[in-house]
Structure 1
Amino acid sequence: MKKNYLRNLLWVVCLAGLFTACDNNDYNGPKSTEVTANYSNKLADGDRATLALTYSGREMIGKSIYFKTENAQKAAMTLLNILPHESETSINNINLIPAEDDKYAFSGNATSDQGTTFKYDGTVTKGKLCVNLTEVKIPDTPMSGILAPVKNSNNTLEKQDTIENKIHRYQLYHQTFYMNTDNQDLGTLELLVGNLVVGPMLNSILKEMNFNVDGNITATYAALPDTFNFQKDILLGGGIVRNNDDWVTSPTNLATYFVANITDLYVTPQIDMIIRQAQSDQAANASTTTKGLLDSVTDSYAQIKKWATTGIRLNIKENPKKEYYVASESSRYVTHRKYEGDYILYLDKQEIEVFIPVIKMLVPILLTPEIIEQINQATGGFLDVATLLNTLIKSIEEAKTLEIGLYLNKMQ
């Protein structure tokens, strides 16, 4: 009995040694411990980048992944600020397969703590990690799909009735700009800044936004033409008349979104991707405005870098004024009003205050001396742009209640 036990034990030891020897002979790549590292492809890394990452089929830079081997067969990865609204995403129990060119290969499916599902595959060797994230799907949200800003236009009188000697007027407002505030100065500026400037300007450059199921936000937009004239096109024309060929779609992986608690929409700018895209655009179209915007984004990198962690928090709600309500009433008239739009997307004061330093930085770039001269000509010098902006910023800082955003239509 004892002899049989010793003989069986000897066979097990020999077989284990045989399989181990075969594994070592077949794979001459790096040891599993040599690929445990933090891999990065930040813009500052340049040619020293150790991470090659794609998200939904397109390269994504500005990221890091910590890769750790448990042994020669198993590993784990931690994705750092890659999936929407997730600072860390852990993937465990990854099967490692020896591959050609001294690499380990791996693939699998995963679900994050936030409920985002995705597939992953890639290879790792000493000093280089390649990861592809595909079929990414964030949890279902009403925001998924195409949303378009309401087109700013004249209000529509839909009907008028006389009831008990009072004239009831039913007006539909077509307004891009949304504001809710307790500050009287801001309320006064809503018509001037919002309806006469912001609405027509947005309608001229932004057609729609696509909130994709993988968390990407893409925009259909148009650049300002070389013949742009603020007085003619915006103040007097109510916006630039666009042809279908004017509109282009932005690349993916420049910004992502995630909806939490139904009403909180977190938008995360991919800063390194944006800067590189701006550099590419500048090379293709070296305009002064493009260069100024690029310099501004680069200069404010440290300040806005924190937005790349958890995102900029916006609020989303169904339009509470989509149905008629009584806006005003007198002895002779009752005005019923409703606003076009399925949703309102807005920033509250807490988030708006964060943008004030960036606004101050962008104003000299966007409001060039030529633009200011056009405004002065259009208003006969009545409107002092510098004073208006200072008043606007001061009012924002003084307001207790402040919501600024857009009325949006759900297109699909």
Structure 2
Amino acid sequence: MKRTKWPHLLWTIAVAGVLLSCNDGNGGPSEEAVQPTLAESLSTVYSNKTYPTDSLVLYYTSSSVPLLGQDVKFETEDLKTGTLTLYNVVPGEAETVLSGLTLKEATDAPDKLTFSYKTVTTETGVRLTLASKSNVRPGRLELIFSSVTFPANRFSKNTEGKGWWALRPYDDQTSAGSIYLDWRLTPGTYTFTDEETGETETVEVTPENAGDPISLALGPILGGMMKGIVQQLIPNILGHINFSTNGNIQARYNANGLSGDADWQVSPANNLCFFYTKDDRLYVIPNIEMIVRQIKANQAASRSSIGTDDIQAILTRLSVWITQGAPFRIKDNADGSTTVYLETEQLEPLLVLLPMLTSLLPEDMQSLAPMLGKLTRLGAVTEHFELGLTLVPSQQPAE
């Protein structure tokens, strides 16, 4: 019986097909098959969390300082229109998608695209203006939002029509001031052990002293004095707070602290701290990277012994607040003031800070270290906790 040659023919065709598919006619691999297109090279996530290898330059609001610690995704298919996805850039928005952005070829580089000027409104009503100087090229995205405007809220537009608030002055008659604290412990007998020395201490929390942890830690006389002193001193250091329409929080503060004549200054709107309101709460978002950068910039002129590594460690512990913000409840008072305060659920991040603050105290204040340690331990048996500031509407203070 004669054997057919079809199997051999099919095998030959298959092998030839494989060989031809791997050859571009010049004896080498096909470059078109392995090199991405310009659109593919540009479409990726850009970040400025990895200094000095940042791929993102982001100017947000009118600040001349780039906004750090951000991620932005850029996508394009035809190099004519593009989409930006901002991750936790706009306060209160986990993702902000800006689509249908017009792209143009740059005149100074063949692989560079520029964005056309455009104003968009996000889902929460924030108006963003993207400047035409914004551009993208492989490995680098530069965005300039020349204007950022949030919808007016009760803090950015108070009863005076402004975003400025003053700390409530201290009242000698009632001992009320700007610091609001409602802290109660769970009654019981507790034994605490100092992790460094191994010493133990037994604390008796009774229904009578459960509502005054500070006096329990310092003693009734010193505790009472400390609370009154703090209420009187705070307004001499922090005078006003401004909730700007671009989402920044600014402070008017005494640069000389408690020494010498007062030198009132207003912090620049450099994106150190943002805010937004939602569901009858005020959310405050600290920007770790921006705060550390500001500290480093001021360190040479500062007499503070606090190192940037210490600050970085402290702020990192507050990471639970970094994306969505620290939630402050809002309470309107009969005298026209407004109190914003953190609740019991936010006590843990604050307690984490106390031991760190102990090591940062200057030498002349090291006597407070045992008190901070004791307050930290008492925090573990907290039944109820509220801490905040009481503010009154104000006009913009004079320079």
1:211 maps to which residue? 243
- Aligned counterpart in structure 1 of residue 313 of structure 2, from 299, 319, 326: 299
Equivalent residue letter for 1:45:
Y
Contact map agreement 2:354 2:373 (CA 8 A) in 1: no
2:54 maps to which residue? 49
Equivalent residue letter for 1:404:
L
1:365 maps to which residue? 360
- Aligned counterpart in structure 2 of residue 271 of structure 1, from 263, 267, 288: 288
For the residue of structure 1 that corresponds to 2:349, the secondary structure is: helix
For the residue of structure 1 that corresponds to 2:154, the secondary structure is: coil
Per the TM alignment, residue 363 of structure 1 is displaced from its structure 2 partner at its CA by 2.0
| Structure 2 residue runs without a partner (length 5+) | 1-36, 157-162, 186-208, 216-222
2:144 equivalent to 1:138: no
Contact map agreement 1:67 1:77 (CA 8 A) in 2: yes
- Aligned counterpart in structure 2 of residue 68 of structure 1, from 66, 75, 98: 75
- Aligned counterpart in structure 2 of residue 108 of structure 1, from 109, 112, 118: 118
Contact map agreement 2:130 2:146 (CA 8 A) in 1: yes
Per the TM alignment, residue 370 of structure 1 is displaced from its structure 2 partner at its CA by 1.1
Q: 1:356, 1:33 → 2: CA distance?
A: 47
Q: Are residues 139 and 83 of structure 1, via their aligned partners in 2, closer, same or farther at CA, if it must alter by over 3 Å?
A: same
- Aligned counterpart in structure 2 of residue 179 of structure 1, from 181, 188, 197: 181
Q: Are residues 304 and 180 of structure 1, via their aligned partners in 2, closer, same or farther at CA, if it must alter by over 3 Å?
A: closer
Contact map agreement 2:103 2:113 (CA 8 A) in 1: yes
Q: 2:118, 2:285 → 1: CA distance?
A: 26
Q: Which has the larger displacement, 84-93 or 270-279?
A: 84-93
Per the TM alignment, residue 70 of structure 1 is displaced from its structure 2 partner at its CA by 2.7
Equivalent residue letter for 2:151:
P
Deviation per CA, 1:104-147: give whole Å up to 9, x if none: 11132222222222111311112221111133122321011011
Q: 1:193, 1:31 → 2: CA distance?
A: 68
Equivalent residue letter for 2:59:
T
Percent identity between the two aligned chains: 26
Contact map agreement 2:317 2:349 (CA 8 A) in 1: no
Deviation per CA, 1:230-273: give whole Å up to 9, x if none: xxxxxxxxxx6853x443424420000011012x1111111101
For the residue of structure 2 that corresponds to 1:247, the secondary structure is: strand
| Greater share of residues in helix | 1
Q: Are residues 127 and 397 of structure 1, via their aligned partners in 2, closer, same or farther at CA, if it must alter by over 3 Å?
A: same
2:393 equivalent to 1:410: yes
Q: 1:247, 1:302 → 2: CA distance?
A: 28
Q: 1:395, 1:361 → 2: CA distance?
A: 16
1:4 maps to which residue? none
For the residue of structure 2 that corresponds to 1:142, the secondary structure is: coil
Q: 1:92, 1:351 → 2: CA distance?
A: 37
Equivalent residue letter for 1:342:
S
2:8 maps to which residue? none
Contact map agreement 1:267 1:311 (CA 8 A) in 2: yes
Alignment of 1:234-273 (within 5 A): 242-243=261-262, 245-262=263-280, 264-273=281-290
Per the TM alignment, residue 174 of structure 1 is displaced from its structure 2 partner at its CA by 4.6
Alignment of 1:5-404 (within 5 A): 31-42=38-49, 44-46=50-52, 48-58=53-63, 59-102=66-109, 103-106=112-115, 107-121=117-131, 122-144=134-156, 145-155=163-173, 174-183=176-185, 184-187=209-212, 189=214, 192=224, 195-224=227-256, 242-243=261-262, 245-262=263-280, 264-285=281-302, 287-289=303-305, 292-319=306-333, 321-322=334-335, 342-366=337-361, 368-372=362-366, 385-404=368-387
Q: Are residues 362 and 389 of structure 1, via their aligned partners in 2, closer, same or farther at CA, if it must alter by over 3 Å?
A: closer
Contact map agreement 1:81 1:308 (CA 8 A) in 2: no
Per the TM alignment, residue 98 of structure 1 is displaced from its structure 2 partner at its CA by 1.6
For the residue of structure 2 that corresponds to 1:143, the secondary structure is: coil
Contact map agreement 1:177 1:195 (CA 8 A) in 2: no
Equivalent residue letter for 2:113:
Y
Q: 2:46, 2:97 → 1: CA distance?
A: 15
Q: Are residues 284 and 369 of structure 1, via their aligned partners in 2, closer, same or farther at CA, if it must alter by over 3 Å?
A: closer
Contact map agreement 1:396 1:402 (CA 8 A) in 2: no
* TM-score of the aligned structures, taking structure 1 as reference length: 0.70
1:18 maps to which residue? none
For the residue of structure 1 that corresponds to 2:251, the secondary structure is: strand
Per the TM alignment, residue 212 of structure 1 is displaced from its structure 2 partner at its CA by 0.4
Equivalent residue letter for 2:80:
Q
Higher relative contact order (CA 8 A, sep 6+): 1
For the residue of structure 1 that corresponds to 2:383, the secondary structure is: coil
* TM-score of the aligned structures, taking structure 2 as reference length: 0.72
Equivalent residue letter for 2:376:
I
Equivalent residue letter for 2:166:
A
Equivalent residue letter for 2:51:
D
Q: 1:79, 1:179 → 2: CA distance?
A: 37
Cα RMSD for the two superposed structures: 2.4
Q: Are residues 303 and 182 of structure 1, via their aligned partners in 2, closer, same or farther at CA, if it must alter by over 3 Å?
A: closer
Q: 1:173, 1:196 → 2: CA distance?
A: 7
For the residue of structure 2 that corresponds to 1:45, the secondary structure is: coil
